[in-house]
Amino acid sequence: MTDLAFGLTAHKTNAEKLFTACAFSVPDEARRSCGWLQPSVFTDHRYAQFWQAVLDGQDASGAAMDAGIYSSILGSMSDVISVYDFETLARTINEDAYYLSLAKQLSPLSVALEKRNGSKVAEITQAIGSRVMTGNTDVPDIVDIAGEFLNRMECEPDVINTGFLDIDRYLGGIERKTVTMWGARPGMGKTAALLNIARNVARTKKVGFFSLEMSRIKLFQRMACGDAKVDWRLARNGKLEKADKDRLYDATSAISEELEDRLRIDDTGRITMDEIWRRCARHEFDMVIIDHLALAADTHEKETLRLGKISWLGKLLAKELDCSVHFAVQLNRGVEQRQDKRPMLSDLRDSGELEQNADNVIMLYRDDYYKDDNKLMSESEFTVVKHRDGASGKTIEMMYDKKRQQFHHKASI
């Protein structure tokens, strides 16, 4: 074996080991995204046997034990940056198999050249020229990409604005095919902020709001009460004066007429990301909001991997359905143990997977949340702690109307 072939084999075998560890952790996602990867291209027959079993729908633990690699997989886990890197690793395995097949021809070609065996040289070079990379390798070349880029330059940017003007200016709007996470401690106003955004966006685009915690009636009540300038708590308790009821009737009619079928609120309990995916595909939403991430019904033995799985499926949903996906995320309780309780990126629960899968992360903070403060208008901070396409760290100051559950820019108050 040549040095080149030896190096490629070592690189490929390491990719197979890491890919197997990822597939062991999240077999359903790996099978869904990498079903094109053929076990026959694996160098290590044990990993090939395991992957074939996963493709056949077998239990990952049983498949690993049958292939004799269970302990090897557990040992490889520390080398895995993210269990959702399976697509990158699958492409590496497939590409290395192609290049390795070419490298193995170098030695016989060298012999044929040394012996001046013209027919053998022609045979080998023809075989090399006819080899093609199989699998999911439909990768556009730079000319195709350049053409696509120039076409996009002639079009208006296809971004979705939240209606929170300062946030939109800083982010340049929310791009499609991206995931944005809105993090805060319970009671800070995550649901109110996302409902405000849903309302703003639904004036012109289609929004799917998946409420895994509150009923659709309560959410609509918040919108209508905000528009009617009625305290939602009085509406909830049935203590409205006639004038308030009249304003609520008018607000309800106005919301229905304004938004029509562009805002759909789904409050199905125990819903999985697969079911959310099917409903989004049917309605072709421009924006999908999931409130909140941890309440999705997807399962996994480890909570860290369960949350990572949900966020990764949100990423795939955004890319494949050409929409923007937004998750409300509860922050770790540890934020409240610090003197400065403003949240940071590390406060995301099991933040490793969530942080990697998010394109944007925005943290909500209200200082009066930690004080015995009965003010109806609360100063609020929206801090962009992650922005994949630009600088982060920007804090946008807003005002939160507790009575009407609405956020406003300071200048509009």
User: Where in the sequence numbering do the catalytic residues fall?
Assistant: 213
Q: Letter for the amino acid at 109? A: L
Bridge partners, 211 (sequence order): 291
- Using CA atoms, how far apart are residues 295 and 199, in angstroms rounded to an integer? 22
Around Cβ 173, how many Cβ atoms within 10 Å?
A: 16
What letter would DSSP give residue 330?
E
Strand, helix or coil at 221?
Answer: helix
Compute the C-alpha angle 84/269/307, nearest 5°.
20
Residues near 389 by beta carbon (within 8 Å), at least 6 away in sequence: 172, 175, 359
Ramachandran quadrant class, 260 (left: phi over 0; alpha: psi -120 to 50; beta: rest): left
C-alpha closest to that of 267 among 342, 353, 195 = 195
What letter would DSSP give residue 331?
B
C-alpha closest to that of 221 among 201, 195, 203 = 195
What is the β-pairing status of strands 360-366 and 179-184? parallel
**Residue 353, CB half-sphere, CA atoms under 13 Å: how many?**
25
